[in-house]
Amino acid sequence: MNKEQIIVTAAQMREIEERIFAAGMPVAALMEKVAGLISQRIQKLFPTKQRVGILVGPGHNGGDALVVGRELHWRGYEVWIYAPFSKYKELTAQHLQYVKSLDISCYENIEDLPSCDFLIDGLFGFGLEREITEPIAAAISYFNASNTPIISIDLPSGIHTDTGAILGTAIQATYTLCLGLWKQGLLQENALDYIGKAELIDFDIPLAYIYAVLGESPPVKRITTATALTSLPLPRPLITHKYKQGHLLLICGSRRYAGGAIITGLGARASGVGMLSIAVPESIKPLLVSHLPEALIIGCPETETGAIADLELPDNTDLHSFSAIACGPGLTKDTTAIVQQVLASKSPLVLDADGLNVLAQLGTIPTLQKRQAVTVLTPHTGEFHRLFPEISYTDRVQAVQTAAAQSGAVVLLKGARIAIANPQGIVWINPESTSALARGGSGDVLTGLLGGLIAQSENKFAIEDIVATASWWHSQAGILAAQERTELGVDAFTLTQYLIPALSRGRKKKTEVTEVAGVTE
């Protein structure tokens, strides 16, 4: 397994390190290795010999920072040390004593600090749980207000390792150099305003130690380009036809929200699904035909408010005839009977938008516990609270794990860092997204895309892996569209036009990486 995928809690990382030390690796030797890798990275980020301030905490994170400062000093950087604590761990105290012997200036009060071009944050490492108090809180506020670039070692000081919560205050880093394995807090929304650009510093933890603690399939994983692409129905067989590439039924739209049906259909189209049927109110059928001429548009009887009143599927067809069903965008809440009907089917089902709202009214957990087929829920924060009002939202990873376990569904919790869980507790986190996706309709695109991928899967992939792939693909399209259009927001129609280019770019990127590694695909 690629270490870029693996996410750990503070307790897990502590146990992995204990195994490293128990095997004979001296703490001092590991600190030298880690700090050497950090200093090499910093020299690439700031290649000219500049003035650098080192913020030193009482633990081994402070020791790492001191060794980095020493190495930069030897390479011509002008270094000063901020060491405000009265007590330090033994190894950190020894490094502090040594840097003082090199005539590197050391300070205890922020009022005495000289200026610098960038700072290295080594105040607190992983495992911090108590709130930061004065005078360190004031010092952190001072550094944040200085507008000086800050490089945090492992994670910004003041960030809870697991939840990403801000413990009173926290360093607002420009870069975060995460050590060894990704810490869970760095992928939680609470921390996003503080971590800057995060990257992993791999210091060669043996996989045997990681597997001994996490198992060979870690419970919380990070979606990467490589992992996302492995769950795509590619390459297609040379001999195939449309009926072998899945048949997706979308149930969406209303007279009031016709656009939701169009956008969901365009997302499904991009998935490559072999057959696409879309059930909509009869009055908007011509509109759907004009945008999706290749799809089978099923006009259904409608209520006085323009919602679907009854599913009238083609002759010799029922809900079990479809490889997958996606239901919800633009439906309105006047479709309780329709949602109940699809919940009773035995086809894999994606529920979104008003499909989720109706489910919440029916009672999420007791309703889903009766289902005999795969269900995927794709709520945003508000919908999640309505679906699972008893679940605490303090830790998004724990919240989505609990929701999936209780409901038996795969749950995709939308947000800046999408979290996906299956009923067995496996979690995928999408580490990349863009605020440009904060536009109405972008979730509808995801619903169509996801439904199309599930319809094509034929049980070849775990359902949570398919959901993770759809999440990755959707976010990459948003990122690409934002780069080429505007970060002020990407409208849903434009987003659908970037799905295929984003996939092509992802596949090209993967090929380039494997060729560099000496493997040509």
Query: Binding site annotation covers 518?
Result: no
Query: Binding site annotation covers 63?
Result: yes
- Cα of first residue to Cα of last residue in the chain, in angstroms, is 18
Residue 263 identity (one-letter amino acid): I
Query: Binding site annotation covers 62?
Result: yes
Query: Binding site annotation covers 371?
Result: no
Residue 233 has φ and ψ, to the nearest 5°, of: -75, 60
Q: CA angle 400-444-349, nearest 5°?
A: 60
Kindly list the distances between the CA atom of residue 164 and the CA atoms of 160, 182, 401, 427, in Å, as whole numbers in the listed order: 5, 12, 17, 16
Smallest CA-to-CA distance from 267 within 480, 470, 440, 504 is with 470
Query: Binding site annotation covers 128?
Result: yes
Query: Binding site annotation covers 103?
Result: no
Query: Binding site annotation covers 465?
Result: no
Fill in the DSSP letter of residue 213. H
Query: Binding site annotation covers 154?
Result: yes
Record the tokens describing residue 463, joined without a space.
Answer: 């359902």
Long-range contacts from 28-33, C-beta under 8 angstroms, 24+ separation: 28/91, 30/203, 31/60, 31/63, 31/64, 31/67, 31/91, 32/67, 33/203
Query: Binding site annotation covers 330?
Result: yes
Query: Binding site annotation covers 60?
Result: yes
Query: Binding site annotation covers 61?
Result: yes
Query: Binding site annotation covers 204?
Result: no
Query: Binding site annotation covers 129?
Result: yes
Query: Binding site annotation covers 444?
Result: yes
Query: Binding site annotation covers 24?
Result: no
Burial of 240 (0-12, 13-18, 19+ CB in 10 A): exposed
Burial of 362 (0-12, 13-18, 19+ CB in 10 A): middle
Query: Binding site annotation covers 157?
Result: yes
Residue count (the chain): 521
Query: Binding site annotation covers 316?
Result: no
Query: Binding site annotation covers 64?
Result: yes
Binding residues for (6S)-NADPHX: 60-64, 125-131, 154, 330, 380, 444
Residues that constitute the known binding site: 60-64, 121, 125-131, 154, 157, 330, 380, 443-444
Q: Which residues are annotated as a binding site for AMP?
A: 443
Pick out the residues of the known binding site for K(+).
Answer: 61, 121, 157
